[in-house]
Structure 1
Amino acid sequence: MQFQLKRNRMLNFYYDIETQFIELTRIIPLDNTDDTYSPRLYSILQMSCGQVENMLRLICDKFGFKYTNPDKQNTKPNFFSYYNPINKNGILSTQWILLKKIDFRDISKSYSPLELQSERAPFWWTGYNETKHDLPDGFKQGNLKNTLYALCAVYSIHCMAYYAQHIEKPDIFLDKKNWVNLSVSYTGDGELIMDSLTPLPKSKLFYCGTRFNSDGALI
């Protein structure tokens, strides 16, 4: 029950961040170049990355995963402290998210926001982490690309947390073969046909293309 309460509180926080981003796209449309930046985008990037770390930790705590800093010289937990136990079999790096058609975007785009960059943290996390104590110079990392990927990552983890809430055994949750990437369809106008029956958290920005499939049944 404690996990569910915390997950719901964090989900409400995510929805607030998502709303801020959507409102900002009226000023900075998504057809701008990826490196378009602003202090407001950086603020959304900061909040999103904070959610990523805390949601990963919440899932670790739910299943009793131990998290330690891979850097033996530093005992303070970091991104990989929470990422590695969950991604033991690669379930984080294969999560798949689609951006819905909003504003001036003519087509949807797919993302794998939790995929590592040659065993390094995702670029959007690195952009945030290396500049959070280097403002105002670091504001340039608050660009459309980093911020959108960070939001994708938060939503993806929230979808995984929904499944975690309904799974008791960590081995089942970590089993890569239980995670399935679905095919998607579009209307004649290019709109994404959504699965209205999915119990996953609803997003105005994203569609979760990865579902948990245990014993042949999606949940």
Structure 2
Amino acid sequence: MNFHKYFLSLEKRFIELSGFVYIHPDNDAVYSTEIALLYLTVCSEFEVVSKALCKAIDSSQNDLNIHNIRAVINGQMLTRSFFDEGVAVSGYDYPTVFPFIEWTDQISPTWWKSYNKVKHDRFARFPEANLRNLLYAFAALHVANFYLNWHPRIQFGHRRHGTFQLDPPPAMFRIHNVDYEGPWFSNELEGL
């Protein structure tokens, strides 16, 4: 499974959605069936990719949940901090999204808590499947994908040392201080 290509297919659906709901903080609370569908899918994919990242860090990891996912990633001591990453939503007047800023050993991110509420009680919690939570989930998924597939200290599947390229790069979601143009070489990524 190519996680990046799956991300791009989800991002394409989000771009289509942006033709109907303008991506702006004024619309953070907007919710709909399409937003809920994307939100549940993106959050589920974040969990899948995060578990794959944890297995790439430590192959002995099993039975992972959101709390021990954080512990495994945090224990990797990556030069660039996974939990501090900011993601821009290109083409829109939306502030930088920091999807993990409130994630601690005891507290899950708000967007993740809302995902679980919507997943287990969609009727009562449907409004929590909103634009803001979807944006944060997309940002989190992009960061997890980036670290799994392109961080030089993570060895995963198809990737080999040498040249890496986001091909094609995401259209909307961009991690700050990552150059998305052209090939990268592992020594260029060492500062990450």
TM-score tier by shorter-chain length is 0.7 to 0.9
Counterpart in 1 of 2:128?
141
Provide closer, same or farther for how the CA distance between residues 215 and 51 of structure 1 changes in structure 2, counting only shifts above 3 A.
Answer: closer
8 Å CA contact retained: 1:60, 1:86: yes
1-structure distance, mates of 2:111, 2:69: 17
In the other structure, the counterpart of 2:45 is: 51
2: CA distance, partners of 1:62 / 1:217: 21
TM-score by length of 2: 0.77
> What corresponds to 2:29 in structure 1?
35
Instruction: Kindly provide the amino acid, as one letter, of the partner of residue 14 in structure 1.
Output: F
Query: Aligned equivalents of 1:129 and 1:13: distance in 2?
Result: 22
Structure 1 residue 33: Cα displacement: 2.2
The structure number with the bigger radius of gyration is 1
Match of 2:165 in 1: 199
Q: Which runs of 5+ in 1 are unaligned?
A: 1-5, 69-75, 170-197
- Displacement after TM superposition at 1:108 (Å): 5.1
Give the match for residue 159 of structure 2. Answer: none
Q: Percent identity?
A: 21
Aligned residue pairs total: 173
- Which of 95, 105, 112 is matched with 2:98 structurally? 112
User: Scaled by the length of structure 1, what TM-score is found?
Assistant: 0.68
Aligned position for 1:14: 7
The superposition leaves residues 116-138 of structure 1 with CA deviations (integer Å, 9 ceiling, x where unpaired) of 35641111001001221102222
Distance 2:154 2:112 in 1: 30
2:55–2:61 CA contact under 8 A, matched in 1: no
Does the 8 A contact of 1:111 with 1:152 survive in 2?
yes
From 48, 60, 70, the equivalent of 1:83 is 70
Structure 2 distance, partners of 1:14, 1:115, is 22
Residues 1:208 and 2:179 aligned together: no
| Residue 81 of structure 1, CA deviation | 2.1
Alignment equivalent of 2:148, drawn from 161, 166, 173: 161
